[in-house]
Structure 1
Amino acid sequence: MNIKTLGLAACALLSGAALFPTLAHANDGIFPSATKAKQAIDFDGRGFLINGKRTFIASAGMEYARVPRALWRDRLLRFKRAGMNCVEVYNFWDFHEPQEGKFNFSGDADLDAFFKLVHSLGMYAIARVGPYYCAEWDNGGYPVWLRNKPGVRVREDSPEFEKYVDRYFDKLIPIVAANQINRGGCVVLVQLENEHPQGWGTEMPNAYFRHLQSKALALGLEVPYFFSGLHHGSDPAGDVGHSWDSVGRTNPWMTTEFWSIWYDRYGQSLDAANEYDRRTMKILAYGGNGYNYYMMHGGTNFAYWNNDEDAASYDYGAAVGQGGDLRSIYYRNKRAAWFARSFQSILEDSTNADADFSAAASDPAVKVTARRSPAGTLVFLDNPGKSPVQTSVGGPNGSAEMGIGSVTLEPGEIAGFVRDYQIAPGVTITRTSSRIMGIFDQDGVTTMVIHGEPGSMGQVLMKTNSQAAIAAGASDFKSSGNTLTLDAKFPQSGVDEYTFAAGATHVRILAVGTARADRTWFVEAGGKNYIVSGPEYISDAAIQNGRLRLTYEKPWIPIPEAEPSLETVIYSSGDAPQRFPANDYQAKRKTTLEVSQWETKSGSDEAAVNYDDHGWLASAAPSQMGADNDITADAWYRSAIPVPKTGDYTIKIDSAQDRWLPFVDGAPAGPKFVHGNSVNVHLTAGTHAFAAFTAHDGRQKMPGYVGLIESSAPKGLFGAASLTQQAGEDIALTPWRVLKSDDHTAPPASDAAGWSAYAIGQDPFGGQSGFVWLQTTLPDTAPNLKSHSVLFPTVDDNATVFLNGQKLTTHEGWNEQFNVSLDSAWRAGGPNILSVLVENTAGAGGMSAAPSLSSVIFSQPITGWKLRGGPGDPFDAKGWTAFQKAEANGPRFYRAKISAPGGVAPGQVWRVLTHGLSHGSVWVNGQNLGRYPEKIPIEGMYIPPVWLKPGDNSLVIYDESGNAPDQVEVQVEAAASRDLLTIEAKG
């Protein structure tokens, strides 16, 4: 596979976390707010200001298009509970305009409702409006209909392209604008375009960028915005390798795509949780002002929205799983986010203080960084090694008298320690050796949660403006004048409470073990703030009849580092804490749902000789899938083939992707599925009815692609079609020679100086952009051959093909096959010199597979084509019969009932296991679950619980090979499921 280094992020073509590339760009600028928005959202070189307050942006990526609307609140609340104050979303163009001119901003596509929900939860939003998105989404977010607009060139100053973009922006941008923070909404940042090969940040290299800017501004964009992205990468601060200063910067340092895990992953990974915790803490330690996890919840590619690298699941191995379950990384994210937000007045207004604290750690293996601001100082200690390290926490310039205690740093851990920071009026932390989870305002009581390994010590030194009156934990406090020292020993499982008053200020410190810190939550209910410690997650908190009602989750299978069930302790602003014993209750659990009453009907009627194709899209040559505005992954083609005499023939199409099933006179012809652009058939003299069923597994996301969209990675049958008789086997073309030349108009002579040998698979560009000539001499062929063509399996990126100096064609787009007829320039008797000008835009380039020469003795075009996209109506009541297992000759529909007496519990995660099936789609109660088989390590297709109802549920399957469904099951995914329990306490 050729690896492109631009257009990656969620667009990376590498598979595996260890191979994550970095998508860095020199320009990380942000355009400032309009004057009228500056009071609500502004920034400087030190950080962001929201409503005049220094604000750290801890953002979580989620696409509303990948989550049913009924689950939006659930997923967003999981973000909020983890300390996230922002959500980042793509506004996929094709999701909102699937058919040309037919816009959808309702139901699951109601963007305005989504933004208002975000706002109601007290969160912000980053809108990524496109028009290109990537995101492992079909066609990169471009509508399929756009591919069938001749001459449309994407991502460049193309009036035809910009016309359609403008029409979409006319619908989209006013919704985004109306929800900007300065207009009472949640949107604080906007990204125009995405991962363009040229313009990032505030860089606008051509008129295309200026057009997007002027259009968005004219439609009301007022909050800060930028192009393409900011600091995308799997370790965005670590790739810099050192901390940086705010001096000289004009805008904050922000990573808008911090790739957490990867799109080929599923489920739990404790190692990844530790690694990404370290990478998050680097952002804080090195001076970052915000980050966005891509993804924090991946969700699902319902219907046909997946690209060619994914199927239905877009789990991403993310903090919040596809079914809403929480992984180890979720709790690491939670610790970092609450820490960053608790000390945002430092992180958003600081300069580099590394030099002053370089000797603050007694162990020289510990790396020290520091951030100093008018609000205080944060000192970060970094243990990059693979063994625990014990070290002191010293003061500036290594002064021991200004230091405090010692800490043990776990392998790879980065921990932050605060100095000279006012946590409440009249109370300042002067220094600490304790890790702080967060500081929370509880209606006049300032509560600070500190944590460490059970049995270890944590020290906090505070200065108060008046004598402190200690109310709880007096034995662990030392008081000297206005200095107060807490020496806390972290408990094995419970919560130790320390409280004091200094004048009118009330402070509570809760000391917990680190595992319990993960299960300590800040929740709001009835206008009051509560600290709740103990449950794995709190899904709801409400005041009912004057009582606090908490709904919490208990996973069926705890995360690897989880402690046993813990006592729940609830703290409000007043009164003593409320305690509730650990609850080991297990709800009654179902693990399977009965699937019965299977029925079936043919999905291949379209192949019949006399099938009525009136109303199908007609064209001289096959049109690519989607030309009839169908957006599914399936299509039928029909034509009539006159055959002059009985014999063996080849039906050849210029382009055929991904696979197709040919029928002649209603019967399957050739192999069950064809992967390639030709099929061999035996035909008798006369006219035959030809039909082809075609299917694909998602279109490319087109990373880094600029140019003509029509010819880039078409699906189905596309281009000229012919009936031929081959002259033997195709000939692989070798050897090749390579030459770099500044002349890109005509190929160099074969005897010109500078040619050198080229091996297929070699990168002649050395990873750089540019042009090279590749050339070969074609083998001699028999003089009676009628036609010659060359099939190029792939050229990276763009190719202009010449024969004997005559230009034949230009093909734009990489890693896709294309066929070139040589007849217009062929010399009978030779020599025939084939030259290819290869343009590489980024990364590696060249040919990764050898082209092949095809010659024929007979050829006639196949014309008069009809196209109809889609598998047909899966809910049509006609034609169903009782299922009997038999060998299928093409696609088939199957339907059955899923019995769920009494319904299913909301915390249970159900999957349709597609055992024994081939490729296809699944519907439950009319909702399309997406494409199977999955391409990541998860068994079965996720059913959102809101799509299941008590009693009988309908299940419909469209299998493209017609494989029998007798092994299909509906089972619970235990690892993702959880019970929902309740606690009632005093309000």
Structure 2
Amino acid sequence: MTYTLGNNIGEQTIAGNARQGTQLRYDAKSFIIGEKRVFLNIASIHYFRMPRQEWREVLVKAKLAGMNCIDTYFAWNVHEPEEGKWDFSGDNDCGAFLDLCSELGLWVIARPGPFICAEWDFGGFPYWLKNKKKIQFRTDNETYLRYVYRYFDQIVPIIRSRQMTKDGTVILVQVENEYGYLAEDASGLSYMKGLRDGLLDRGIDVPLITCEGGLEGTIEGANFWSGANSHYDKLMRKQPDVPKLVTEFWTGWFEHWGAPAATQKTSDLYEKRMMESIRAGFDGISHYMFFGGTNFGGYGGRTVGSSDIYMVTSYDYDAPLSEYGRVTAKYRMAKKVSLFTLALGQFLLESEPMDNVEARCGEGARLQGRQWNGQKLWFAESIKQEKEMFQITLESGRTLPVSIKPGQIVPILERIEICPGLKLTCCGFLIGNDLIGEVQTIVLAGDDGGRTHIVFEADQSIHFDNAGHIPHESSLDGRTLRLDVYHFQASQRNRVNVGGQLIELIALNGYMSDRAWRLHGDGVRWAIGWEDMDLGADGSVSGVSGGCDSEPFFLGDWGHKGGIGQGQMGTTTVHSAGNAFKPLLSPSLSEWKRKTVNLLSLGGGKQAERPRGFAELGLAFGYLIYSSEIDCDRDQENTLVFSAIQDSARLFVNGLEQAMIRQVGAVSAHMRLSNGRNKIQLLVQHMGSLNFSPNLGEEKGIFGPVYLDGSTVELRRGWYCGEEAVHLDEVHNHPFASTLSRSFELSENDGAILVGALSSGLRINGKEVPMDGYQNWFAYHAVDISGYLVKGSNTIEMPVTRTPLNRLELLTYNRSRELKNWSAIQLDEASEFEASSVAIESGPAWYRSMFDLPAIPEDVNPKLKLRMTGMSKGYLLLNGRNLGRYWQIGPQEDYKIPMAWLKETGNELILFDEEGRRPDSVRIFFDAQSERRWQTLNEA
């Protein structure tokens, strides 16, 4: 089945659910499920980044935040870690994950790749693909595609059987991922068409989508954080008659070892960017990530931009839901905006932008508007440096006072139809408009202590029940009511009656609106004032008290005898499942036992002329120890040049560490040798394969020739632009007038490698050096320039497009001085440990400790962290499961210990430390929220 999406497709009927009669359609404005337009609030959540036991909690949190759809990748390397050995069990049971989404009433966007990026090792490809002869990734390569379609034969049936057409909830399937960043030429389109047809031929019949790169027969989405208008306009030019999705709205960012924490996107800015997307006209937003999770094992990837950008083990992403599944300020902001889209869903999806804006505002604010059927929604944006009250005159001539924070976008509703015969004008976030029992309930969120001017207009007289409590004014005919409501800690609740229809207006301040929860199933219910909430598999509802001055209150039918159903005002009772409050005691680690890695006694393994990499040796992750020997006739100092290295390494000579190698691609390392035979060893950890690059599939570890007696020349200084000296490690604000040049001398050596931030157009001694696969955004390349050099003076010419450069080096060597006869062995996990009483650290070592879980009350939701204070670099094992890499150079300090992987007693924690540092300061502790007491609604 092939779709043709053009400029005149009209409304498309895509899929029907035969048993339930649910139809999925779309037109230029939105997707239509059944007979209802839907604004897709999409939570990006990866099943493979958490234990299966956490799926429900995370998905429920997404649903409670107003998300109606889940977006997930499928990681090929998780399901086929070794060729032909498939795993869809336990934590890898992606079908069960989709089934749980269905159970919770969440639609699904399935993204099977085969390339997923996701800051995941090798972009989701299995490591063993690197060993296939003549393979090229993400292109029309016969070998590559043969394995891709074998993967499709496994993964597509799992998705196919859960499509909306098969009584499931999968509504969209993505073809590949972000291919437009790589290539949109004829060969690239041919590759994409093949993948599209591969999905169709295997029974995918819901709409196909792409992101950042289009394809006939698919709906293209945009990935971004800012610039919503330009992205929307681009999609409109390409496909004006299909829905407009933000396929990845980047809520935060990933982190890598040694970099600052990626917390630059504040919750206020997050709100603004969401509002920009809504204002632009997008009808769906996928929050990437909504919950990031963890890169357990060795699955953290590596990305471009420098030579050694390796992902940390945490994939928290500064997302709305933390790595531990905890609610954050961004979560509350996502919930507020998603409830806003739900309350105004039909209007947002039917409306069009207003070209001629006659509304007016004071200096320092900007207005944009949308309209439909006589109703208008304005977006008022402040460009002031402080919070200010703006007077905004709408097209009807009515003036409203609107308080706006710096940079904030505040929605203003003008004559929005709340229910038949009643229209609402006000500023602020309408987060609820539900018929609860017989009461039309309007929930309005505002700032703490703020005031909102409300105007009701009706076809009949409006009777105000709370006339004595708040300022109000009625028109002479009684059909217009103006009120000022205040957003106090004690929520204001006011009622009007229009023709027998009761309307309740609930004004919440910022604190209480952050703690407002909307539940829907057989009917709509609200719980207002709880810090956190959860839904049990048995349908129970539990929560954490907000600890505020106002009591929580509940709206709707909660099943209480003589209670507050049918939208009655009031509160309901809760009961605690636990005993009297007792602080949780953190687990106590037993005395650490140690097993030292005796490098000099290790077996040599199979000999080879040059070092071999991880994939070549059949290893997905872990550690390798490379060994070789050098005979010296005297004590001396020497420099090794590694022509191909892609991971950090520690260099040992005769069992003593002499260098820590951080930079990769090609590097040099200084060492001291003794008279006689010297044993050279390198301890290398697989730090993750490139997950995004034009050069996917690099070998890992050390795998190229290694040379003795090399040298290194730092090349960031000493350049000339004409007569002007230029230093490339400094900031230059203007483009250089011409190509830069630099000279260097070559005497004894006959080989050279340039490594670092090279530019296209590189010339050596007047000859241009081709750089296959070069991309100007890939800020490091290693290029062998040996064939361009002469003895004596050599000249490098290079256009420089940006500064400063973080690395640019010239490595020289003599090809006759290659160090040969290498062996490589995998570092095996220690099985026997001894008491760790030696105070001196003496090289790589394993450590082992045991711990029991303390008594945990039933009414808490504990989360455990492992803090690796004082350690160097290595990885962690918990009860035989790999918790991931650690490296105490920041920004990650704490590591997640999943409660699902623990036993009540006898938990084993093993860590490997490259420097053998003693783990005396390592500790396990519960996070602060673990002290919260959860309460269950009384169903009596």
- What is the TM-score normalised by the length of structure 2? 0.83
SS state at 2:530 partner: coil
- Does the aligned pair in 2 maintain the 1:788–1:853 contact within 8 Å? no
Alignment of 1:446-845 (within 5 A): 446-453=440-447, 454=449, 456-463=451-458, 483=479, 485=481, 487=483, 489-490=485-486, 492-499=488-495, 507-524=503-520, 527-540=522-535, 550-554=541-545, 563-564=548-549, 566-572=551-557, 573-574=565-566, 576-579=568-571, 587-590=581-584, 592-604=586-598, 607-608=600-601, 611=603, 613=605, 619-639=608-628, 641=629, 643=631, 648=636, 651-663=640-652, 667-668=655-656, 670-671=658-659, 676-682=667-673, 690-702=680-692, 705-707=693-695, 709-710=696-697, 712=698, 714-722=699-707, 724-725=708-709, 729-731=711-713, 779=745, 781=747, 785=748, 787-796=749-758, 814-816=778-780, 818=782, 820=784, 822=786, 830=791
1:758 Cα deviation from its structure 2 partner: 8.5
Pairwise CA distance, 1:964: 0.9
Q: Report the equivalent of 1:745.
A: none
1:873 counterpart (822, 829, 832): 829
Distance 2:278 2:350 in 1: 12
2: CA distance, partners of 1:366 / 1:577: 38
Structure 1 stretch displaced more, 944-953 or 317-326: 944-953
Correspondence for 1:895 among 825, 828, 848: 848
Matching residue within 104, 112, 116 for 2:95: 112
Q: d(CA) in 1 for partners of 2:403 and 2:714?
A: 63
Percent sequence identity is 22
Distance (whole Å) between structure 1 residues aligned to residue 263 and residue 819 of structure 2: 55
What does residue 352 of structure 1 align with?
A: 353
After superposition, give the CA deviation of every residue in 1:30-50 in whole Å (9 maximum; x if it has no partner): 999784459733322222222
The amino acid of 1:682's aligned partner reads L
1:56-102 residue CA offsets vs partner (Å, 9 max, x unmatched): 11112222222221111111111111111122222233233322332
User: C-alpha separation between the residues in 2 aligned to 1:644 and 1:30?
Assistant: 77
Alignment deviations for residues 847-904 of structure 1 (CA, whole Å, 9 cap, x no partner): 86444253449625403x44344x4235x3xx21111234344321111122322147
Q: Secondary structure at the match of 1:493?
A: coil
When residues 730 and 267 of structure 1 are mapped into structure 2, their CA distance, relative to the original with a 3 A threshold, is closer
Which residue of 247, 260, 263 maps to 1:256?
A: 247
1:380: which partner in 2? 379
Q: What residue is the counterpart of 1:748 in the other structure?
A: none
CA deviation vs aligned residue, 1:706-755 (integer Å, no higher than 9, x gap): 24x45x4x432111234x346xx54556999999xxxxxxxxxxxxxx99
Give the root-mean-square deviation of aligned CA atoms.
4.5
Question: Is the CA contact (8 Å cut-off) linking 1:195 and 1:228 kept in structure 2?
Answer: yes
C-alpha displacement of 1:452: 3.3
Q: Within 2, Cα distance between the matches of 1:266 and 1:848?
A: 16
Structure 1 residue 475: Cα displacement: 7.3
Q: 1:28 to 1:292 in 2, by over 3 A?
A: farther
Tell me, yes or no, if structure 1 residue 83 matches structure 2 residue 36.
no
How far does residue 535 in structure 1 lie from its aligned partner after superposition? 0.6
Give the CA deviation at 1:378: 2.0
The 2-side partners of 1:498 and 1:808 are apart by 73
Unaligned runs of 5+ in 1: 1-26, 740-753
SS in 1 for 2:77: helix
> 1:22: which partner in 2?
none
Conservation of the 8 A alpha-carbon contact between 1:459 and 1:487: yes
Shift of 1:592: 3.0
CA contact (8 A) 2:573 2:937 kept: no
TM-score of the pair, normalised by structure 1: 0.79
Q: Is 1:947 the equivalent of 2:909?
A: no
Inter-partner Cα distance in structure 2 for 1:674 and 1:408 = 51
**Paired residues, what number?**
893
Contact 1:661–1:672 (CA under 8 A) maintained in structure 2 = yes
Distance change in 2, residues 1:507/1:366 (3 Å):
same
Q: Which moved more, 1:477-486 or 1:41-50?
A: 477-486
Contact 1:178 1:185 in 2 (8 A): yes
- The letter of the residue matching 1:130 is G
CA contact (8 A) 1:567 1:581 kept: no
> Does the C-alpha gap of structure 1 residues 48 and 305 become closer, same or farther in structure 2, counting only changes over 3 Å?
same
| Secondary structure of 2:619 counterpart | coil
Deviates more, 1:926-935 or 1:301-310: 926-935
Q: For residues 313-340 of structure 1, give each alpha carbon's deviation from its aligned partner in whole angstroms, at most 9, with x where no partner exists.
A: 2222222112222222222211111111
Partner Cα separation in structure 1 for residue 400 and residue 338 of structure 2: 25
Larger displacement relative to structure 2 (383-392 or 494-503): 494-503
Task: Say which SS state the counterpart of residue 206 (structure 2) adopts.
Answer: coil
Q: What corresponds to 1:289 in structure 2?
A: 283
Amino acid at match of 2:245: M
Partner of 2:836: 883
**Native 8 Å contact 1:435 1:450 kept in 2:** yes
Q: Is the 8 A contact 1:797 1:845 kept in 2?
A: no
User: Given residue 571 of structure 2, which amino acid in structure 1 is its aligned partner?
Assistant: R
Q: Distance in 1 between matches of 2:179 and 2:7?
A: 14
Give the 5 Å matches for 1:50-199.
50-198=33-181
Partner of 1:59, secondary structure, is strand
Shift of 1:479: 8.7
1:191–1:227 Cα contact (<8 Å) kept = yes
Measure, in 2, the Cα distance between the counterparts of 1:650 and 1:190.
53
Choose 245-254 or 190-199, whichever is displaced more: 245-254
CA distance in 2, matches of 1:531, 1:860: 73
* Equivalent of residue 859 in structure 1, options 790, 814, 817: 817
Change (3 A) 1:858 1:211: closer
Q: CA deviation at 1:810?
A: 5.7
Residues 392/892 of structure 1: CA separation in 2 closer, same or farther (3 Å cut): same
Pick closer, same or farther for the CA change 1:805–1:329 going to 2, 3 Å: closer
Once residues 898 and 34 of structure 1 are traced to their aligned partners in structure 2, the CA distance between those partners, rounded to angstroms, is: 58
Match of 2:112, SS state, is strand
Matched with 1:417 is 412
SS at match of 1:900: coil
Given that 1:438 and 1:448 are in contact with CA atoms closer than 8 Å, whether structure 2 keeps it comes out as yes
Q: Separation in 1 of the partners of 2:580 and 2:184? A: 51
| 1:217-263 deviation digits (Å, cap 9, x = unpaired) | 22223233333333322224266799999999222332222222333
Contact 2:492 2:508 in 1 (8 A): yes
Contact 1:259 1:295 in 2 (8 A): yes
